[in-house]
Structure 1
Amino acid sequence: MSREAKGIMVNIIRIKENKKENILDLVARETTFTILLNQKKLVTLNCTPEKYKYLGLGFLYTSGILRKKEDIVSLEINKKQGLMDIRMEGTSLLPKDISSNNLWLGICQQAEGEGNPFSFIDTSLKINPGLVYSLISEMQERADFFKLTGGVHSCALADKNGSIILFSEDISRYNTIDKILGEAFVHDISTEDKIILTSCRITSGILRKIITGKVPLIISRAAPTDRTIELAKRAGVTLVGFVRGERMNIYSHPQRIGI
């Protein structure tokens, strides 16, 4: 999608070195995207207006609602209205109140409360520190819209050979994860030996999505929370943060970063 579709020019006053000037500046466009599930409104997301299909299916997948493609009976997307109408079979994990904007978190909590904790991620994936630094650097290089606006988050899916397979930007850090995992879901890209790269702070909500997506390693330029670290330890996820230059912090399962 072009930058004109994702952004809009606005008149601003810029002050620099005590000098004021009126200029046009590019800012990120924000729109709403509503998911209808079996003819009922499920959730409305605020997002960057692109990759609606991946966002919608990624949201359903990381929420635990959508498990396999065969569950989808029909799917229609109206880009102009910002609407996805999906009909599915097997939606037993839906909470009673499906209008909640915290739906995905509610489903995760409900599943854990019913004795269905996340499966432990066990994989032989191992990479060296140099690959960590180069992958983060490449993700930043690809973040063209962030460079123009400073108003979006970035996320990527990479393999152990150092190739970035998928990339997304969005005003919401949660949406970037959903777009990546949704695209992987649609195109049958295995994630069990892959790496998630992100520019954002890693919250437990972000990590829950990654665990549901079965990704064993997440790397971020930012920091995690204490709850995120504990969850990563329990789920078998290697959590790497504060990647700057040739420095990083490893918070859980360090065996996947070879020294």
Structure 2
Amino acid sequence: MEIVCRSGIQVTGEDVCAVRDDLIVEDRIRLFLNGEYLTTLVASPDRLDDLAAGFIICEGLADRVASVNVSGKDVYVTAPVGRDIRLEVESSGGYRVLGEPRKVTSSITTTAETIRAVTAAIESDTWRRTGGVHCSVLFCGGKLATRACDVGRHNTVDKVVGYAALRGLDRSTCILGCTGRQPAGMVAKAANAGIPIVVSRAASTDRGILTAERAGLTLVCFSRGERFTIYTHPGRVSDVLAAIKKAQP
């Protein structure tokens, strides 16, 4: 990732001193779909092929992409579009596609131990250096497949999903881990990508949980240390479900 150093004046109580801090670079990326301009994404300017492919899939426009070509800050994607493109403005300065997310179909299960491993993997050196990025990870077959950092939490999901799509990984067997909150838009991204389990260190919202419930997605939030909360479809966390059944009279 691109990092720059900037000067500042740090105030601590009555003390004042000059400092130089590492800061993450923010840029604007133009995305073209099948030769037509689609949207502009505010993002960290790295892994642009993964970002663009993931955006197309996570917004439900296509299940796969045929090709991605990067030219400077412009990215050109070719994909078999499967729905009407209706965009709404996002607070981040980009756009999101309107419509209901896809249903998740997957028979995979996981364990509390794996959920904790996914949570631990979310940490990144970039976050420790700058404090200015979100991070997502993708676990496939119980192992870390990829980790992505970005100024936008949505972009981190796009990047790891795009990585999986461009390398032919079966997303229905994967677990997504995130640092960011899980409102409806974030949950919809995972659902559109066909990812059955999402683990976040942060909170969800009421609509985020409702979206996960309707999409058939297992949503795990507040995953920190030994603790986590399962909000939807707990049957995929096999040992936790067994413990609940055992405790019932």
Shift of 1:67: 2.9
Contact 1:127–1:160, Cα closer than 8 Å, also in 2: no
Shift of 1:68: 3.0
Task: Tell me the residue number matched to 2:102.
Answer: 118
**Separation of aligned partners in 2, 1:21 and 1:83:** 41
Task: Tell me the residue number matched to 1:166.
Answer: 146
**Separation of aligned partners in 1, 2:83 and 2:197:** 29
- Of the three residues 66, 71, 76, the one matched with 1:85 is 76
Structure 1 SS opposite 2:117: helix
> How much identity, in percent, do the aligned residues show?
26
Structure 1 SS opposite 2:122: helix
Contact 2:212–2:218, Cα closer than 8 Å, also in 1: yes
Residues 34 and 235 of structure 1, relative CA distance in 2, 3 Å threshold: same
The one-letter amino acid of 2:110's match is I
Q: What value does the CA root-mean-square deviation take over the aligned residues?
A: 2.2
Q: How does 1:193-204 map to 2 (within 5 A)?
A: 193-204=173-184
Does the alignment pair 1:241 with 2:221?
A: yes
Task: Tell me the residue number matched to 2:197.
Answer: 217
Task: Tell me the residue number matched to 1:44.
Answer: 40
- Of the three residues 126, 131, 134, the one matched with 1:153 is 134
Residues 66 and 182 of structure 1, relative CA distance in 2, 3 Å threshold: same
Residues 201 and 152 of structure 1, relative CA distance in 2, 3 Å threshold: same
Contact 2:149–2:156, Cα closer than 8 Å, also in 1: yes
Does the alignment pair 1:179 with 2:159?
A: yes
**Separation of aligned partners in 2, 1:165 and 1:237:** 20
The one-letter amino acid of 2:41's match is L
Shift of 1:46: 0.7
**Separation of aligned partners in 2, 1:98 and 1:91:** 18
Task: Tell me the residue number matched to 2:20.
Answer: 24
In structure 2, stretches of 5+ residues that fail to align are 241-249
Shift of 1:76: 2.8
Structure 2 SS opposite 1:195: strand
Describe the superposition over 1:80-130 as per-residue Cα deviations: whole angstroms up to 9, x where unpaired.
xx11134555465223x7998664332xx2xx4xxxx622x2433222212
Q: What is the TM-score normalised by the length of structure 1?
A: 0.84
Does the alignment pair 1:10 with 2:10?
A: no
**Higher mean C-alpha deviation, range 221-230 or range 127-136:** 127-136
Structure 2 SS opposite 1:200: coil
Describe the superposition over 1:122-151 as per-residue Cα deviations: whole angstroms up to 9, x where unpaired.
4332222122122211221xx111100100
- Of the three residues 76, 79, 87, the one matched with 2:69 is 76
Number of residue-to-residue matches in the alignment: 237
Shift of 1:255: 1.2
Contact 2:7–2:19, Cα closer than 8 Å, also in 1: yes
Structure 2 SS opposite 1:104: strand
Contact 2:69–2:77, Cα closer than 8 Å, also in 1: yes
Q: What is the TM-score normalised by the length of structure 2?
A: 0.87
Shift of 1:69: 3.6
**Separation of aligned partners in 2, 1:102 and 1:46:** 6
Structure 1 SS opposite 2:173: coil
**Separation of aligned partners in 2, 1:248 and 1:218:** 12
**Separation of aligned partners in 1, 2:105 and 2:8:** 51
